[in-house]
Amino acid sequence: MATAIVLTEADAGTVQILDTATQDLVLLATQGFERNLTEHFHRVNASSKTSCGIALKNGNRTFIDFDVPESEDLDGSLRMHVEAGYLFAQSTPLITRSGKPIGMVSTHWRERHQPSDSEALLRSADRELRFLDLLARQAADLIEQKRIEVEREQLLAREQAARAEADRANRIKDEFLAVLSHELRSPLNPILGWSKLLQSGKLDATKTQQALKTIERNAHLQSELIEDLLDVSRILQGKLNLNVSSINLVSIIQAAMETVRLAAEAKSIKVEASLAPDVGLVWGDSTRLQQVIWNLLSNAVKFTDVGGQVNIRLEYQEAHAYITVSDTGQGIAPEFLPYLFDYFRQADAATTRKFGGLGLGLAIVRHLVELHGGAVGVESLGIDMGATFTVRLPLMPIQATVNQNDQSSDSSSDLNGIQVLVVDDEPDSREFVAFVLEQAGANVMTATTADEALTTLIHSKPDVLLSDIGMPKVDGYMLMQQVRALPPEQGGQIPAIALTAYAGDFNQQQALRAGFQQHVSKPVEPEVLVRAITSLLNHKGR
């Protein structure tokens, strides 16, 4: 710019860069202008009547006389130049070697020039203008080179950031897979170990009870881990659905408290509740909301030392219910708080870590709460300072009424006189289910294949059918389709439950489409299985 001013014997000059996004000229450098003028012309577009605006529009060097009374001056640009003492200017586009405009170099004069003078200038200053063109090309080359360097640096920075993010994601994945392997294998050791000791017949009554309780506890633990993995899979695929109804949060909280009672007693942890009785109803999935509260209570007990305390409080404010779970446990480091509800993140994933788990529970909690239109947050003053989790859920309008009688179900678990056909190719599972149902009073028939099941169904006329899905040759879906093709007098309308380890929402929908009325996932608690049968038969009887 300074060279252009000297070369053209001008009084002021500017260099502008083309903003490719807006196609405006943006002031890059200036010499000789007052501040108010540079601020006004910080950004110029092709509609401006200045020399740079006209040159941008035409793509050629432009000379302009600002002090021409008959000139159109809609934006006041000409007047501002005259008032600042500049009467004449030229603007030369900066063109790259590829022919792309990237900016403008302009020079301004205070002396007055008549049109004839301008023509004389064009004739007599040909050498200076050629130098100005050369200068413009050099400036364009330098600007283009700098722009390429900046873009290269930005691209490199983005690549480095993306690589760092990928490395971080891979590290988190590797840590999670290592933890997953450990957490899934750990319960197997006591299960298999105590099972062999039980088979040896050398355990006394006390040790036998200890073995059974240990096996049950670790089997439940592994089931919970698998259920968490399935929940995350459903969430990530957008397939986690809610079975909604009106819910009393007090009963949900009390049920969740009961599930953690033994774990708390084992560590002498006092769990205290303050539940406002007049909190209204919420519209949601009772099972999922109990899962949320259980998860928060379970974490509180897990991360609280022996003799500590856990508090849960239910209250309401305006149109929302607030559930607060606080503990006196190990607390949360401030730097980890922003990541607490992320999937696959744990504050300590090392092999020396003190606490187990997959790091999925709180991520599932957040998603479930948000599905209910609520929010969850956490506060902690730091390590060894405890933590407080707060769940906010929208309350149902006071005017909403619910027929509780319609929602209640027969709690009877008596299967006396009920004939049940159990179909499963896996002997252990088949014998377990048969034993559970016989203990509840049912008369049980079993089949190992679909053909055997159809024969038994036609000749024995059972009251209900329980079938596995994953079976060789003819699976449970195909069996159910064959059953529904039978006439009613041969069992074509028999109530049927799919009892299977295929536990996804897709599998549930597939079972219903095949003709099953219910889908129960393995492993199943005996009382849940019995309740499913009684519920199905009661529904049929209505």
Report pTM: 0.47
Q: Given this model, what pLDDT does residue 34 score?
A: 82
With a CB cutoff of 8 Å and minimum separation 6, the contacts of 377 are 389, 390
Which DSSP category does 195 fall into? H
Q: Given this model, what pLDDT does residue 358 score?
A: 59
**In terms of C-beta distances under 8 Å and separation of at least 24 residues, what long-range contacts does 253-258 make, across chains too?**
253/293, 253/312, 253/314, 253/323, 255/290, 256/290, 256/293, 256/294, 256/297, 257/297, 257/312
Q: How far is the C-alpha of 107 from the C-alpha of 88, rounded, in Å? A: 9
Q: Given this model, what pLDDT does residue 452 score?
A: 94
The pLDDT of residue 476 is above 50: yes
Query: 446, 455 in Cβ contact below 8 A?
Result: no
Evaluate the CA torsion angle 47, 48, 52, 54 in order and state its sign: positive
Q: What DSSP string describes 418-480?
A: -EEEEE-S-HHHHHHHHHHHHHTT-EEEEESSHHHHHHHHHHH--SEEEE-S--SSS-HHHHH
From 309, 314, 297, select the one nearest 256 (Cα to Cα): 297
From 213, 280, 284, select the one nearest 250 (Cα to Cα): 280
Q: Given this model, what pLDDT does residue 322 score?
A: 96
Beta strands of 318-437 (E only): which ranges?
Answer: 320-327, 375-379, 387-394, 419-423
Write the pLDDT tens digit of every residue in 496-506.
999 887 666 66
The pLDDT of residue 235 is above 60: yes
Q: Which residue has the higher pLDDT, 82 or 112?
A: 82
The pLDDT of residue 200 is above 50: yes
Pairing of strands 270-275, 245-247: unpaired
Report, as an integer, the average pLDDT of 328-341. Answer: 89
The pLDDT of residue 255 is above 90: no
Per-residue confidence band for 541, with pLDDT thresholds at 50, 70 and 90: low
Lowest mean pLDDT among 111-120, 274-283, 294-303, 486-495: 111-120
Query: 53, 44 in Cβ contact below 8 A?
Result: yes
Q: Pseudo-torsion of CA 421, 423, 427, 430, nearest 10°? A: -50
Q: Which residue has the higher pLDDT, 541 or 147?
A: 147
Per-residue confidence band for 409, with pLDDT thresholds at 50, 70 and 90: very low
41: which 2 tokens? 């012309």
Write the pLDDT tens digit of every residue in 386-408.
999 999 999 887 544 333 334 44
Domain 419-541: state its class: alpha beta
The pLDDT of residue 14 is above 80: yes
From 109, 8, 106, 124, select the one nearest 53 (Cα to Cα): 106
Pairing of strands 62-65, 245-247: unpaired
371: which 2 tokens? 């599905």
Q: Which residue has the higher pLDDT, 359 or 478?
A: 478
Q: Given this model, what pLDDT does residue 410 score?
A: 42
CA 244: distance to chain centroid?
22
Name the CATH superfamily, with its identifier, for domain 245-407: Histidine kinase-like ATPase, C-terminal domain (3.30.565.10)
Per-residue confidence band for 450, with pLDDT thresholds at 50, 70 and 90: very high
Q: How far is the C-alpha of 446 from the C-alpha of 456, rounded, in Å? A: 9
- Enclosing H/E stretch for 541: helix 526-541
Q: Which residue has the higher pLDDT, 49 or 462?
A: 462
Q: Which residue has the higher pLDDT, 380 or 287?
A: 380
Q: How far is the C-alpha of 74 from the C-alpha of 50, rounded, in Å? A: 11
Query: 419, 462 in Cβ contact below 8 A?
Result: yes
Q: How far is the C-alpha of 294 from the C-alpha of 290, rounded, in Å? A: 6
% of the chain beyond a pLDDT of 70: 85
Can you give the residue ranges of every domain in the chain? 2-149, 188-236, 245-407, 419-541
Number of Cβ within 10 Å of residue 342's Cβ equals 14
Q: How far is the C-alpha of 316 from the C-alpha of 322, rounded, in Å? A: 6
Q: Given this model, what pLDDT does residue 408 score?
A: 41
366: which 2 tokens? 């957040």
Find residue 194's DSSP bridge partners. Answer: none
Arithmetic mean of pLDDT over the chain:
82
Q: Given this model, what pLDDT does residue 308 score?
A: 95
Q: Given this model, what pLDDT does residue 350 score?
A: 42
Helices (H) and strands (E) in the chain, counts: 17, 18
Per-residue confidence band for 269, with pLDDT thresholds at 50, 70 and 90: very high
Q: How far is the C-alpha of 447 from the C-alpha of 111, rounded, in Å? A: 108
The pLDDT of residue 117 is above 70: no
Which DSSP category does 104 fall into? E
The CATH T-level fold of domain 2-149 is Beta-Lactamase (3.30.450)
Q: How far is the C-alpha of 510 from the C-alpha of 502, rounded, in Å? A: 10
The pLDDT of residue 118 is above 70: no
